[in-house]
Amino acid sequence: MAAKASNIAASTLAPFSDDVTTLTPADFKTLRQRWKATVTGKRMKVNSDDVYYALSKLSGTAEQYIANMQPSRLHIWEDLSPIHLSVNFRKSYERLRTIAQSYSIPGSIHYHDLNVQETVIQSLDFIGSEIYNASVVQAKGENWWNFRIGAPLALVDIAILLYDDLTPRRRHDIGATIVKNIGSIGQRALKGANRADICLALIGAGVITNEEAEVSRGRWCLSDQEFDGENSVFQLVESGEGLYEGGSYISHEIFPYSGGYGVQHYYSLSKAVNILSKSLYQINSTELRVTFTAVNSTFCPVMWRGMMMAHIRGRDIARKSEPDAFWGNLFLQSLLYFADTDIVPRKQRRFFKSLARSIWEAAPLPDLYGLNITQAFGMQEVLGKGIPPAAPPLGTFATPMSDRIMHHRPDWAAALAMSSSRIGRYEALNHENLKPWYQGDGFLYVYTEKDPLHFSNDYWPTMDPYHTPGVTNGQNPQDPPAYKFTAHRDWAGGLDWRGTHGLAGLDALSTDKGSSAKKSWFFLLNSIVALGAGCAGLSGTEVHTTYESRNLPISGSNFSINGEYQEMSTGWIKPWEETRGQVDWAYLDSFGGYVFLDKEPVSFKHETRKGKWTDINQYPDYLGFNDLISREYLTIYRNHGIDPRDGRYAYALLPSASPDETRDFATIPPVNITHNTPKLQAIQFNNTVMANFWSGGTIGHLTAVTPCSITWGYSGVEDKYLTISVSDPSQKATRVVLFFDDPDIGGVVEKDDAIRLRWGRAGETGSVTITVNVEGTHGKTHRVSFERISWRGTLADLPWRPPAQETTTISTTTSTAPRRKPAITKTPLASNSTVTSKKPGHKPVPAKHTDSTVKKPGPGTTKSSKPLPKTAKPKVEKTKSIQTTKSIIEITKSTGKATKSIIDPSKSTIETSKSTLKATKPSLGTIEPETGTSTIPKSTASP
């Protein structure tokens, strides 16, 4: 795995050496105190319901463990027998840690109970003498993780909690056991979360035994000093396992895992940072730059109401005891560890606390997956200081290195899981996640305020794996899942449009190659439009595209079709075999609306589905969850028939919409489907076109010569600007070439460095060839913005026009064009975001903004450009600036009239003059629907 180069300053600490004697006994005592606080929480007066609840839950669990002890030569607990199996001695340590926590925390029923102390120490002696020690040899077939990570981390915590009660000999033996079983920490196989975990355990072994050499080794292994930082946990990677630029986290080489291994990586690192703070081995803030950036780019976009979304949790979704809220709380705990560390800048610490509060407040049912004792004490401190919550994410977030797209709206969110020749379809490992066949084939997760616990309500053992929302697949039975393989085709990805909209495409071919389709999703402000073409099968079975497979709330949910209530009796199925006119829309109270945008039949099914967690997880940790569960499901799907050749579909999801809004959308759709073929899929709404060119083509003014995802449209006051965004979802092309023919196209406002422009084509004016160098950009979105000529009048009014056959050389940083509606702009979670509170008693705290507007060179500026005559600036009275993205619209206080910005390429200045010309309505060009595509009335409503 290659580590990405960074400017992280070298630490002032001496490099690792076995010959170190700088930590004093007092230093080791401080390290133990800080470690203990990460396990028990800070000592403070209890005045929080969360703390009372967490302490009561901890004491009750510990009491149950004590009562169920049945010590023998084979086990401590009968259900963890025989104890020589690594999973059983590791789980025995974890139970003993819970008992030790209850023994160590004031207010617990076991606080400093000598009988409890003796019970724990005797159990440690039993395991250490016969099962897990410095002489043990890992048996063939055993899970290495139990030996090197799971057991050591639990054992360190126990030894820290009972440090004063353990003899020096016991402490020495525990430390030796950990060091021996961890083994070499310099090996290249240790990456990401596993490296962070092992380094933390090794630091702990040194803290227990006062061995500075082990503390030093663990500290420097985090930076991977042995291999010059190749596997440093502090840096971005460009391949393999770890944290990527752009928000992806990959584990086991090919699986998106920011909500699982990514959170674990972050948790162990934050704990190490907290413990080593103010010591000779503290981790410096310069090393944590990438780590802090990842909070906004990697973790916040994959959270919904305090929970980690399922599409980036890999096989963890098959674990009953580790739901999405569990990982959300672990991330919260990581934030609190960082926030309690002086090396983190003050502003960053406050933001982490603010974000932790937003996670805590957003949890739909905190009592269901409550905070543990450490998290509860940390949140009590945050709430006591009156720190308001951070604003939730809003907008579209694409992470092309993991084939994922997230789309957040105020009261709903969606996440799309795709796979490609780069990214695995699913992870099924250690007998976990046993029905995963289509989890990476376009699985569309939709979260709503109406039913926030949809995926937490025993969804995974009861869902229909052959009707996965968003997926097109054959109904033939699948073989048991295999491990670690990617999809067959390259194309998976898309782009974000101005941060508020998104486009995704997937060239889908099932694992058994029995079904295929070209699939596109368009993420809009109030809806998601899904198109499919070329849906084909070779398995001899029906091919279905699943629009929805909804786990209905236990309380029930009403359902209607075309406004008519449908009886939801078990087993009810109602196929609609006639035209689209009969099935225009449907509505589910616990979700929102469904609109069917073509004339194909739609099938509906309501059924009771049953399952056990052990049906999808046979790992020993989770065999206790074997109760039979029943849940009600509503499934909506398109049956393309047996082995179809060119099936199609077109539908829209309207999460959280009302019945009236759904009916209105169906009556006059605000979205026009211009193309839905295996070559081109595109929609038009307002003044914007979004398209996946599977093999090139033309829409209106724009022609794509090469395959690409593209969005283009107008924005700004009176649609002043034209912006084109493009990406290469295959990540295999070297360049993307576009032609844009429009007499209205003016000078360049901004573009990113990968874009080259060539004005004029075949002697024509008002046209530009856009060449995008996409080689090595890994599916990144590239943008270029132009100013419309008609906004300023006619061609003759322009002081400058790009000469034909000349390539512009202006280079700016990547940025979007001015947003058309500031009210719907993307609101990323950042340290300067506006923060609001949804709970009474707290007022919104305005964000602090800095004016980052920079005056840029005019379009087409080159080294050989000759200065043009200076133009006198008109006298402008006092003005105020309304800032959009990289532009300023000036409004005079006296007249309220807008002025325009004219960019002079000969001078790096922006001159303003009053505009007396009325802007004309922009044209998208002549967009002819494909043959057979229905034309539908246009609506002025927001899609």
Task: Give the dihedral sign, CA 432/437/438/441.
Answer: positive
Burial call 478-501: b when 16+ CB within 10 Å, e when fewer: beebeeeebbbebbbbbbbbbbbb
Please state the three-class secondary structure of 875-931 as a single string: CCCCEEEEECCCCEEEEECCCCCEEEEEEECCCCEEEEEECCCCCCCCCCCCCCCCC
Q: Spell out the CATH class of 25-384.
A: mainly alpha
Residue-wise pLDDT for 173-225, tens only, equals 999 999 999 987 656 568 899 999 999 999 999 999 999 999 999 999 999 88
395-670: which CATH number, 2.70.98.10, 3.40.50.300, 3.40.50.720, 1.10.10.10? Answer: 2.70.98.10
DSSP 869: P
* Average pLDDT along the chain: 83
Closest CA to 424 of 298, 302, 250, 265: 250
Nearby residues of 673 by Cβ (< 8 Å), 6 or more positions away:
529, 531, 597, 650, 682, 683, 929, 933, 934, 936
Domain limits of the chain?
Answer: 25-384, 395-670, 701-819+884-923
699: pLDDT strictly greater than 70: yes
Closest CA to 593 of 670, 671, 651, 554: 651
Cα–Cα distance between 481 and 485 in angstroms, integer?
10
In this prediction, residue 846 carries a pLDDT of: 37
Nearby residues of 809 by Cβ (< 8 Å), 6 or more positions away:
861, 862, 863
Residue-wise pLDDT for 372-392, tens only, equals 999 999 999 999 999 999 999
Closest CA to 811 of 726, 885, 751: 751
CB neighbourhood size of 916 (10 A): 8
* Share above pLDDT 90 across residues of the chain, in percent, rounded to a whole number: 69
In this prediction, residue 370 carries a pLDDT of: 79
Cα–Cα distance between 256 and 445 in angstroms, integer?
15
Nearby residues of 5 by Cβ (< 8 Å), 6 or more positions away:
none
Strands 528-537 and 542-551: unpaired
**In this predicted structure, which of 9-23, 538-552, 677-691, 777-791 has the lowest mean pLDDT?**
9-23
Residue-wise pLDDT for 386-435, tens only, equals 999 999 999 999 999 999 999 999 999 999 999 999 999 999 999 999 99
Higher pLDDT, 511 or 581: 511
pTM value > 0.85: no
Residue-wise pLDDT for 782-802, tens only, equals 999 999 887 653 333 333 333
Q: Find the DSSP H helices in 244-341.
A: 261-276, 289-294, 324-339
DSSP H helix total and E strand total for the chain: 16, 39
CA 13 to each of CA 22, 219, 268, 781: distance values in angstroms, whole numbers, following the listed order: 11, 11, 21, 40
Closest CA to 349 of 391, 407, 288: 288
Query: Quick check: 375 and 359 in contact, CB under 8 A?
Result: no
Query: Quick check: 863 and 901 in contact, CB under 8 A?
Result: no
Tokens representing 339 are 């926030």
Query: Quick check: 729 and 505 in contact, CB under 8 A?
Result: yes
Tokens representing 407 are 């789309």
Residue-wise pLDDT for 798-817, tens only, equals 333 333 333 333 233 333 33
**Run of H or E including 348:** helix 346-362
Sequential DSSP letters for 726-750: EE-TTS--SEEEEEEE-TTEEEEEE
701-819+884-923: which CATH number, 3.20.20.80, 2.60.220.10, 3.40.50.300, 3.40.50.920? Answer: 2.60.220.10
Tokens 């702990």 belong to which residue? 204
Q: Which residues pair with 691 in a beta bridge?
A: 682, 710
The amino acid at residue 936 is I
Tokens 């629907």 belong to which residue? 929
* Share above pLDDT 70 across residues of the chain, in percent, rounded to a whole number: 79
In this prediction, residue 941 carries a pLDDT of: 62
Query: Three-state DSSP class for 661?
Result: helix
Closest CA to 674 of 938, 928, 923: 928
* Segments of 418-571 assigned E as strands: 443-448, 472-474, 492-497, 501-509, 515-523, 528-537, 542-551, 559-561, 564-565
Query: Quick check: 390 and 358 in contact, CB under 8 A?
Result: yes
CA 332 to each of CA 3, 134, 265, 294: distance values in angstroms, whole numbers, following the listed order: 27, 35, 13, 14
In this prediction, residue 187 carries a pLDDT of: 61
Rg (CA), the chain: 30
Residue-wise pLDDT for 214-262, tens only, equals 999 999 999 988 778 888 999 999 988 999 999 999 999 999 999 999 9
Query: What average pLDDT does the segment 506-535 reach?
Result: 98
